[in-house]
Amino acid sequence: MNEPPIADKFAAFEELIPPLDDLNTPYREALSRGELILQQCQSCTSYQYPFESFCYECGSNLLEHKVSRGQGFIYSFVKVHQPYHSAFKPFIPYTVATIQLDDGPRLLSAMLDLTTEVKIGDRVKPRIEKITASESMLMYELERS
Amino acid sequence: MKNLKQKYCIVGVGNTAYGKNPGISQIAHNVLAIRSALEDAGLTTQDLDGVLTKAPTSTFPMLWGPKIAEALRIQPKVTATLDQAGASNIGLIQYAISAIELGQAEVIAISYGDNPRTGTRASYARPRGDDALAGLFGAPSSYAMVAKRHMHEYGTTNEQLANVAIAHRTHASMNPGAQFQELFTVDDYMSSRWVAEPFRLLDCCPVSDGGAAYIITTEEKAKELKKLPVYIEGIGQAHPSWDFYRRPELATSGAKIAGKMAFKSAGLRPADIDFCEIYDCFTIVPLISLEEYGFVDKGEGGSFYEEQRTHIGGELPCNTSGGLLSETGMPGTQLVVEAVRQLRGEGQDRQVKGAEVGLVSQQGGIMTTHATMLLSNQGIHK
């Protein structure tokens, strides 16, 4: 039997997507192009996520969107067995990791379809999957895979 | 706690039945617990001039303090609902002391009551922030992330986490009011199902209905009442983060700063503490709390529990009524109630012999907020 098309496998995530607003629209549009963007403060140079109208570090409002390679390492992780939401059921047990980005911010991210055990310190890279025609989802995978 | 005009005391405690409690509303849990605490103190609703509450976790009603006051048929001078999650139980005492010190009130009730076991518990599994797409739902996964990091940094093991749950269950087995009293072994723990690795089911506190309350007043008033006063010796608080994973060091908590603040204001040291009542929604929390307070070195919390030094009869009994893990999953109010009972010598089979000074540790969110309180009976056993 063939694998279901990727769109079907991830379609159930659509209802988890937060509503669009002024701050997150550029991020979501970038993701749908297959790119991860962060905000970078033009005063203190720090990168940030989630997006805001000000810099969390220095308070400046001089923020620009910058494409990030999104690489980093696993700072901590859990393997979820409890079926909290139907979208994640096919992946149970699935890994959720705190990702320490090389660019500075930390993110929470699902790591789905893992074929090997992960450990704290493992290098990771973004995996961006289409959920709908206009929306994509940021996940992470091991850099070596 | 510097330069207060006088000392402050807890003079009454009370609670409703813990566990599954159909037909009892959130308001009823608050009202019945407050009435029970008033009776314990030898007071009536007419003596109350303040009602302070922590909002129910399962819902978040507006103007909860006035609502509880009205259900007591009183019109208090002071009400407040504090939003520090589990740490509110001590934060509200700080607010009560401020109100009394300012001359606004003399006798204040603090209560919490909720019915997530028989009512709605949807809020327990709701994702926080935009964590849903990351697959992070429910508090267990977030606390498990903290535990995983602690294991990585200090070599903490699941066997050690099991010993936290077992120690608190052992105490609950001596508490006829505890929701879970049946003893279990490390093997039983190891065969309980995974919720979010590294947490198994027995790492997690239950969802419970129940209410608890306490009455705060001045030392002067306390001395007129029927029970031995329990003195508030020191209070501290600290609030490390909102999104837990952004805290620079995940395997830490606000206990370090809140503890120092409380010990300093009380003029006491960790060595002076006879027992602890520590917020233990998940097994990792008391372990980290003991480390942050300085009872043990960083990373030694697991072995401290494994060596059973936290059992009643051991060097630092912890969670003498079973804590959140076994007495009731209520977010912390019960820990204040139990500390007061211990200091009055009302612990029955689970009494810590000669207890004079106790530490109550409260935290909320995902170790987002923290509060610490030191209580004493000022040597009633001497």
Domains of chain A from N-terminus onward: 20-68 (no CATH), 70-145 (2.40.50)
Which residue, among A17, A78, A96, A111, would best test binding to B if mutated, counting the most B CBs under 10 Å from its CB? A78
CA nearest to B183, candidates B201, B193, B170: B170
The answer to whether the Cβ–Cβ distance between A78 and B193 falls below 8 Å is no
Q: How confident is the model at residue A102, as a pLDDT?
A: 98
The answer to whether the Cβ–Cβ distance between A75 and B137 falls below 8 Å is no
Structure token digits, residue B102: 């300012």
CATH code, residues B8-120+207-222 = 3.40.47.10
Is the model's pLDDT at A2 over the cut of 90?
no
CB neighbour list of residue B295: distance below 8 Å, 6 or more residues apart: B270, B273, B276, B304, B316
The answer to whether the Cβ–Cβ distance between B133 and A138 falls below 8 Å is yes
Q: How confident is the model at residue A145, as a pLDDT?
A: 62
Specify the range with the lowest mean pLDDT, choosing from A27-41, B3-17, B70-84, B119-133: B119-133
Q: How confident is the model at residue A47, as a pLDDT?
A: 98
CA nearest to B87, candidates B237, B263, B204, B285: B237
CA of B132: which chain A residue's CA is closest?
Answer: A16
Structure token digits, residue A95: 């890994």
Q: What is the mean pLDDT of residues B165-174?
A: 98
Give me the helices (H) in B267-371, please: 284-293, 301-306, 323-326, 333-344
Q: List the single residue in B127, B195, B246 with the smallest CB-CB distance to A82.
A: B195
Is the model's pLDDT at B293 over the cut of 70?
yes
Contacts of A98 in chain B (CB under 8 A): 145, 245, 250
The answer to whether the Cβ–Cβ distance between B148 and A50 falls below 8 Å is no
CA nearest to B270, candidates B283, B260, B281, B280: B260
Structure token digits, residue A136: 């994509």
Q: How confident is the model at residue B129, as a pLDDT?
A: 53
Coil, helix or strand for A132? Answer: coil
Q: List the single residue in B132, B133, B148 with the smallest CB-CB distance to A78.
A: B148
- Does B122 reach chain A within 8 Å, measured CB to CB? no
Q: Which amino acid is at B112?
A: Y
Q: Degrees (nearest 5) of the Cα angle A128, A131, A137?
A: 35
CA of B199: which chain A residue's CA is closest?
Answer: A78
CA nearest to B160, candidates B151, B172, B171: B151
Coil, helix or strand for A62? Answer: coil
**A93-116 in b/e burial notation, b at 16+ Cβ within 10 A?**
ebbbbbbbbebbbbbbbbbbebee
Q: Answer with the residue of higher pLDDT: B257 or B125.
A: B257
Q: Which of residues 58-117 of A touch B (CB under 8 A)?
A: 75-82, 84-85, 88, 91, 93-94, 96, 98, 106-110
How many C-alpha atoms does B7 have within 13 Å on its Cβ side? Answer: 19
For residue B122, name the pLDDT band (cuts at 50, 70, 90): confident
- Does B103 reach chain A within 8 Å, measured CB to CB? no
The answer to whether the Cβ–Cβ distance between A108 and B197 falls below 8 Å is no
How many C-alpha atoms does B200 have within 13 Å on its Cβ side? Answer: 18
Q: What is the mean pLDDT of chain B?
A: 95
The answer to whether the Cβ–Cβ distance between A108 and B246 falls below 8 Å is no
CA nearest to A99, candidates A133, A130, A63, A68: A68
Distance from the Cα of B251 to chain A's closest Cα (Å) equals 10
Domains of chain B, residue spans: 8-120+207-222
Please say whether the beta carbons of B116 and B58 come within 8 A.
yes
> CA A109 → CA A16, A141, B214, B252, B339, distances in Å?
14, 10, 42, 22, 40
The answer to whether the Cβ–Cβ distance between B148 and A77 falls below 8 Å is yes
CA of B194: which chain A residue's CA is closest?
Answer: A81
Q: Which amino acid is at B31?
A: V
What length is written for chain B? Answer: 382
The answer to whether the Cβ–Cβ distance between B245 and A18 falls below 8 Å is no
Is the model's pLDDT at A3 over the cut of 60?
no
Q: Answer with the residue of higher pLDDT: A142 or A145.
A: A142
Q: What is the pLDDT of residues B20-60, one digit of tens each?
A: 999 999 999 999 999 999 999 999 999 999 999 999 998 88
Q: What is the mean pLDDT of residues B305-333?
A: 97
For residue B133, name the pLDDT band (cuts at 50, 70, 90): very high
Contact pairs from chain A to chain B, CB under 8 Å: 86
How many C-alpha atoms does B294 have within 13 Å on its Cβ side? Answer: 14
Which residue, among B123, B126, B128, B133, would best test binding to A if mutated, counting the most A CBs under 10 Å from its CB? B133
Q: What is the pLDDT of residues A5-46, one digit of tens each?
A: 555 789 999 989 999 999 999 999 999 999 999 999 999 999
Structure token digits, residue B80: 């407040």
How far is the C-alpha of A93 from the C-alpha of B189, rounded, in Å? 19
Q: What is the pLDDT of residues B238-277, one digit of tens each?
A: 999 888 999 999 999 999 999 999 999 999 999 999 999 9
Q: List the single residue in A81, A84, A137 with the smallest CB-CB distance to B133.
A: A137
Q: How confident is the model at residue A4, as a pLDDT?
A: 47
Region for B319 from its dihedrals, namely left if φ exceeds 0, alpha if ψ lies in -120 to 50, beta otherwise: left
- Does A13 reach chain B within 8 Å, measured CB to CB? yes
Q: What is the mean pLDDT of chain A?
A: 93
Q: Which amino acid is at B214?
A: Y
Contacts of B245 in chain A (CB under 8 A): 75-76, 98, 106, 108
- Does B138 reach chain A within 8 Å, measured CB to CB? yes
Is the model's pLDDT at B123 over the cut of 90?
no
